[in-house]
Structure 1
C-alpha cells in the first residue's frame, strides 16, 4: 500500500448535508412575496439560470460576487416574468442561502479530520460551487466550523472546470506537489468524485453512506472507516 500524503474531500454529500437546495429556497422566497409559482416552474427557471451562468461566467472564470448574483437571480426571475421585489428577494437569496439551506456537518466528519491531522496528513477540498475559494472559505467552511482543517481549497468556479472534468483533477494533483499515488480523494458520487481520479492514478474512495452502491471501486460507509486505507 502506497503511503497517502494528501487527502481531498468533496464537500456537499461528503462533509455536509443540505436540507434544502437552491430551487427549494427560491420557491420559498417567492412564496414569502406572494408569488404562487409551482415548484416545477421554479425548477425550470433555475435550470435556465444555471445554463446562463455557465455560458456567461463560468467559462470566463469570473468570481462570484454580489453583482453577478444579481445578474443570475435577475435572469432566473425574468424567466418567471417577475419584475417586482427583485432587490429584496435577491438580497435575501444572496445573504441567507447558507442559513436557509440548513447545511450541517455529518457527525463523522470532525473525528475523521482530527484523526487524519494527528496522522500528519495534509487535507484539501474540491467543491462544486459557484463561489471562488475566498468566498467559499468565508461563506461555507467558516460557518460550518471546517475552515482551518484544509490547506488547499479548490472550487470549480475558481479553477474554471466542473466535476468530473479531468482538467480539474489534474490541477488538484498539481497543487499538492505529490504524485498521484500519494493522493486520496473521497467523495459520495462515483461519476463526479471517483471515476476520473482513479483513471489518473489517484487513490479515490467512494463514500457510500447508505451502503447501496454497486460500483466496483474502493468504498467506505463512514468517514470513520478511512483508517483502513491510511498508513
Structure 2
C-alpha cells in the first residue's frame, strides 16, 4: 500500500518547451471543473465534497493498481512504457491531468486577462521556471525577438486583442516552429515523449525509495546472507498491489 501511494504521489517536471512554445494553440485541455460554476457552498460542506472527490479518485487509482503489476526498473524501456501506460489509465479513469495538460491549464489560468503580448510571454517564462522546466531549444529568446520585430513594425506595444498584430506574431512563431522542427500535428508525440520521461524519472525515485526502505530494515534486523543479491532480485520483479 505504501509503495502504491508513492506511485500516485511522485511527480517530476521535465523538459516541455515544445508545449510552452505552442502557447494557447497546444494540446486541448480536459478541465476538472465544468464550465458552469457550482453553487456557493458553506465551508464545511465544500471541504466534505473536496474530501469525497479526492477519496473517489484515490480509490479509483488504487483499484487499477491492484490489477496491474509494475516493474521498478527505470533502465528497462519496456518497464518504463508499461508504467507510463498504467499511469495513463489511472489519469483517464480518475479524471486527472497529464503533465502536459497540467502545464496547459496553468498557462491558461495564469495568463487569462493579460492584455499585452509581452507580459504574456514573460508569464510563460515565469511558469516554466517555477515548474522546473528547461528551454533547451532557446524558444523563449526566439519568441521575444519575434515580438520585438512585430512591435517595431507596429511602432507600439502589441496587445492581444489586436488581430492584425497577433496574426503577424503567430506567423513569426510558425517560422520559429519550422526552424526548430516542431509541427502542430506532432504534439501528441511530444506529449507521449514527455510522459515517458516522467515515467522513467518516477521509477528511478521509486527504486531509490525501495533501496532506502530495505536499508532501514537492514539496520533494524540482523542481516542475512545474500541480502544485496536478494534486494536486487526483489527490485527486478513485478510489484503486485493486491
- The bucket for the TM-score relative to the shorter chain is under 0.3
Q: Larger C-alpha radius of gyration, 1 or 2?
A: 2
TM-score (norm: length of structure 2): 0.23
Bigger fraction of residues in helix: 2
TM-score (norm: length of structure 1): 0.24
